[in-house]
Structure 1
Amino acid sequence: MPSSDLPPLPPPLHVRARLDDAVVRADRARFLSYLSRCNLGIGRLLLLWAVAAVFVLGWSFVGMAWMAFEERHFFSYVYGLILALLGAGVLIPAAFWFARGAKRDRQVRRLLYAWAESDRDPVADARLREPVLSLIWLLTSFALGAIGLWATFAAAASTRPGGPTYGEVAYTMGIGQILWLTGLLGLAKAVTHYRWAVRAFRG
């Protein structure tokens, strides 16, 4: 969703003083609920995985290009160059997509924190801790990170004479690190949101 579809910052105190308290509170509850879903919804988790899948696809092309270059003959160089170009064509847009997503996440958190600090509504605020969503993010991200770490260390441990080539090791380690970093991002987001919500809506 474009940034223009995000709610505005809460009005300053001197403006809120002239507004109906019930209307301001209803707007705050509605905006906080929407921003909380934008920050920690299932859709955001699936989007993070989609970006990771695109990075995996791009790295797969790069890894296959590396393996082709290791064969050291003319046609393998041509094939490897084509694969490397395909990899760059996937990874560069994926990096741009990731940067845009990170920028929007910062905007969502800024608005979420600002609206949370603008008032207090214990009944509405209690739902914003999102313990179930935080747990889903935590467990799935931990599992993904664990798979990535296992793949990375297993690839590193397989390096021995007569074992996989450098290209094969780099291919597997690259995919493992992408999965590990994706899991780490998800873990950080889940823990950060829950800790912030507990502090912000205490009492």
Structure 2
Amino acid sequence: MSRLDLPPPPPPAHLRAWLDEGTVRADRARFLKELGRRSLGIGRLLLLWAVAAVFALGWTFVGMALMAFEEAGDPLSYLFGLIFGVLGTGVLVPAGFWLAWGAKRDRQVRQLLCAWAESGRDPATDARVRAPGLSVTWLLASLALGAVGLCVTFGSAATARPGSETYGEVTYYMGLGMILWITGLLGLGKAGAHYRWAVRVFRGGPTAR
């Protein structure tokens, strides 16, 4: 299975009755492990942060463009502002498509994870899929990143003084802080959603899709 391919959905219940139980159990364990890694693995957290870093890079170019326009006193400054603006757009637009593709893939992984989890029961496999340690890791890392983002956003606005910082600088730091705390919110939401789903599924309650 390549990194882009997803595991197949589980066979229908009326077909599972005709299949070898050991094979079905092994497939369920293998696919749940793979889906759990793609849903809540450390690699997914790092990928989310990588997307945020790309957004931060694009916003840095936009901030440089704003500061160049604000302080422009000659045509060369306007030219640099235009160049930085184009570079920022060239980074932010692909990053937006990348984020949208990732959200779509996450929904597909979640649907398959729910389907395979409901296809049977195996205490050892189910304990690994619950992954409380990974949920806590996502929670704490996202809390820290969100707190840094809030400090940057509100700190830059609160400490700005006329004549000391330009509007472009304040706008840049506030936007950078928003990227950080929105990324933290996304991580918190993912950790909370996984915990709620695991509790409902593996305690016999209704599945939260």
Shorter-chain TM-score: what band?
A: over 0.9
Code of the aligned partner of 1:147? V
Q: Give CA-to-partner distance per residue, 1:76-134, whole Å, 9 cap, x none.
A: 11110000001011111111111111111111001001111111122321121101111
Q: Is the 8 A contact 1:145 1:179 kept in 2?
A: yes
Code of the aligned partner of 1:10? P
5 Å-filtered alignment, 1:1-203, equals: 1-2=3-4, 5-73=5-73, 74-202=75-203
Q: Secondary structure at the match of 1:54?
A: helix
Q: Secondary structure at the match of 2:120?
A: coil
Structure 1 alignment gaps of length 5 or more: none
Q: Secondary structure at the match of 1:10?
A: coil
Output the TM-score relative to the length of structure 1: 0.95
Code of the aligned partner of 1:108? V
Code of the aligned partner of 1:45? L
Distance 2:130 2:53 in 1: 29
Code of the aligned partner of 1:29? A
Structure 2 alignment gaps of length 5 or more: 205-209
Output the TM-score relative to the length of structure 2: 0.93
Code of the aligned partner of 1:76? S
Q: Is the 8 A contact 1:158 1:164 kept in 2?
A: no
Distance 2:34 2:177 in 1: 34
Q: Percent identity?
A: 70
Q: Secondary structure at the match of 2:72?
A: coil
Q: Secondary structure at the match of 1:120?
A: coil
Q: Is the 8 A contact 1:122 1:201 kept in 2?
A: no
Distance 1:143 1:7 in 2: 33
Question: Following TM superposition, where does structure 1 have runs of at least 4 consecutive aligned residues deviating by more than 3 angstroms?
Answer: none
Code of the aligned partner of 2:134? L
Distance 2:85 2:163 in 1: 26
Code of the aligned partner of 1:181? I
Aligned-residue CA RMSD (Å): 1.2
